[in-house]
Amino acid sequence: MEIGIDSFAINPPNSGISNTQALSELLDRIELADQVGLDVFGIGEHYRQEFLDSAPTIILAAAASRTKQIILTSAVTVLSAADPVRVFQNFSTLDLISNGRAEIVAGRGSFIESYPLFGLNLNDYDNLFAEKLDLLLKIRDNEVVNWSGKYRPSLNNQAIYPRPFQNKLPIWLGVGGTPASFIRAGTLGLPLMVAIIGGETHRFRPLIDLYRQAGEKAGHSIEQLKVGLHSLGYVAKSKNDAIRDYYPGYAEMFTKIGQERGYPPVTRGSFDAQNGELGALLVGSPEEVASKIIRHSKALGGISRFTFQMDSGLSHQELMQSIELIGTKVLPLVNSER
């Protein structure tokens, strides 16, 4: 199983450090992840004050110059708000810079700030994504493209450059909990990245079964239908240390998001339930977290990638220590049990 980190390049306004320092420290963390043997590092895409990831390919390109082996991916590319031609060109260039380590996780995103920013209609939420995904895949698979749609000018015998280092730039589909999204990924034969940030992870099994059934029905091999899992987590030397470090920032962030979306404030009881045996959070010691990843994988019928999302008010030093523990302890433990 591939193990990695996803980051939204968070720097809260009250953090006391500059955006320049926050990005510099993020690049240090990506470099460390590479050094300790992690498989993948993803950068998200948001358009909010506290997140510095509105141009993720620039961050990933900077990381490419400081790393050697680690896969550099989006987490996710908000394709509905982007031009698929530019998305492909950006990631193709990243692939060339990194000697074939670029990937795309394409999704619709969980925030909607990009819609007014780019003059998009939220009522077109799914139609925009479906059309742009179709174009992105056509560009990926064909150097010369003929395509027409509703939301973008047509392409007539148009060559798209540069082409990537890899013969076929990997494109995953990032999904939340909508059955149609799982079926779409399976029908297209795209690897699936499931964001599970709350609830009980095993409850996603019927949706993943839908994905695999749709993929097999469309003629794709089971080996092609890879499943990845993105969840909130943090690793420290002990569970008590991990909760002490992680909970305050987690509670602050998700209480704020809850206020925007009408959810109740985070409590320690709700946190502990989410961090229990069946819950989506993975906050604990290396041994506890590795065991939980293995349990989640079995419950979902097998996963091939797991990524930690740790941007919840943790210091750079805490994040560095956690990345080192994930690389040196969690990764070997997970793969020794498979």
Q: What backbone torsions phi and psi does residue 22 show, to the nearest 5 degrees?
A: -60, -40
| Structural domains present in the chain | 2-336 (3.20.20.30)
- Going by C-alpha positions, the residue among 61, 44, 62, 131 that lies closest to residue 96 is 61
Q: pLDDT tens digits, the chain, 338 residues: what are they?
A: 999 999 999 998 888 999 999 999 999 999 999 999 999 999 999 999 999 999 999 999 999 999 999 999 999 999 999 999 999 999 999 999 999 999 999 998 778 889 899 998 988 989 999 999 999 999 999 999 999 999 999 999 999 999 999 999 999 999 988 999 999 999 999 999 999 998 999 999 999 999 999 999 999 999 999 999 999 999 999 999 999 999 999 998 889 888 888 888 999 999 999 999 999 999 999 999 999 999 999 999 999 999 999 988 899 999 999 999 999 999 999 999 76
The pTM of the full predicted model, rounded to 2 decimals, is 0.95
For residue 338, the model assigns a pLDDT of 60
Count CB neighbours of 97 within 10 A.
Answer: 18
Alpha-carbon torsion (301, 75, 42, 317), positive or negative = negative
For residue 81, the model assigns a pLDDT of 92
- What DSSP letter does each residue of 269-299 carry, written as one string? HHHHHHTSSSBS-EEE-HHHHHHHHHHHHHH
DSSP secondary-structure letter at 315?
A: -
Alpha carbon distance 277, 282 (integer Å): 9
Q: Which residues, including other chains, have CB under 8 Å from residue 328's CB and lie 6 or more apart?
A: 36, 37
